[in-house]
Amino acid sequence: MQQADRRDFLKLAGMAGVTFTAGLFPGRQAAAQAADFHFVQFSDTHWGYSGPANPDAEHTLEKAVATVNGLPKPPDFIVFTGDLTHTTDDGKERRARMKRFREIVGALSVKDVRFMPGEHDASLDKGEAFKEFFGATHYTFDHKGVHFIALDNVSDPAAKLGDEQLAWLAADLKQRKTDDRIVVFTHRPLFDLKPDWDWTTADGAKAIELLMPYTNVVVFYGHIHQENHHMTGHIAHHAAKSLIFPLPAPGSQPKRTPLPYDAAMPGLGTRDVNVADKVSFVELPVTKA
């Protein structure tokens, strides 16, 4: 994205936030006819959480919905990259949380909304309740010339994609040209971000290996409750903030306990992603100032 385009995007997003543009779709040649669009990523809303890490937990998601509804230019679609709900052993309560979550996000003015599970949604029942409410746990779709792949690395409680899903991914990728624009969504990082904090996917390296021949791939994920930007070769991986509580930077403290609550919620938010020949994004606050 050129500087002028980036300023336009910030203006459209109505934000003066920090943008990230480097290294995305690096192999893509400029194409005048490429359609420009944007989508919003929500992650780790943990509906049903109650605790000191976020005394505002009952309202934070509603505030973020209102903020996204107030964007000057509505996004083409919205994606939730997992942990829609906070886990519970009680299947009935899990479904009640998913029902209430769906009601809250039903207030989004954009109606093209894609959902993915996190381990809090799906690991205790292998995605059974999630599928009842939100459909498949892994899928693809195409939008304005970009191929999107949603991977499920949480329905297996051991944090695996599994051989079956990897074969499905390989078959899907075989249909792509090597310079196609591909955006991958996952909940957990596909790479070993911090294995001793369980910030990894057991067989994520196999997915990265399958993606590696493709020159224009970018991955958006959640799980770690903070921004993080990492490259595996030419593939960029971007973690999103959560909407419940921020977690510490990898290895910055002995344990991965939530950061203390801050009423200004600087560590929470959503992300507005602009897609053209390159990708750029802006971090959106929970509540627009």
Give the one residue of 55, 135, 157, 213 binding another protein; rule: CB under 8 A: 157
Is residue 119 close enough to count as binding another protein by CB under 8 A?
yes
Q: Count CB neighbours of 184 within 10 A.
A: 23
Look up residue 21 and give its two tokens: 């543009």
Q: Angle at CA 153, nearest 5°, toward 147 and 156? A: 140
Stretch that binds another protein, among 26-34, 82-90, 138-146, 231-239 (CB under 8 A): 82-90
Name the burial class of residue 136, with classes exposed (0-12), middle (13-18) and buried (19+) by CB atoms within 10 angstroms of its CB.
middle
Is residue 107 close enough to count as binding another protein by CB under 8 A?
no
Distance CA 153, CA 162 (A): 8
Look up residue 7 and give its two tokens: 């300023």
Stretch that binds another protein, among 2-10, 150-158, 209-217, 228-236 (CB under 8 A): 150-158
Stretch that binds another protein, among 33-41, 153-161, 225-233, 281-289 (CB under 8 A): 153-161
Is residue 87 close enough to count as binding another protein by CB under 8 A?
yes
Q: Which residue's CB is nearer to another protein, number 90 or number 262?
A: 90
Closest residue by Cα to residue 168 from 192, 149, 144, 190? 149
Kind and range of the H or E run holding 172: helix 163-174
Is residue 166 close enough to count as binding another protein by CB under 8 A?
no
Kind and range of the H or E run holding 38: strand 37-42
Give the one residue of 71, 79, 84, 154 binding another protein; rule: CB under 8 A: 154
Positions in the binding site for another protein (CB under 8 A): 86-89, 119, 123-124, 154, 157-159, 195-196, 198, 202, 256
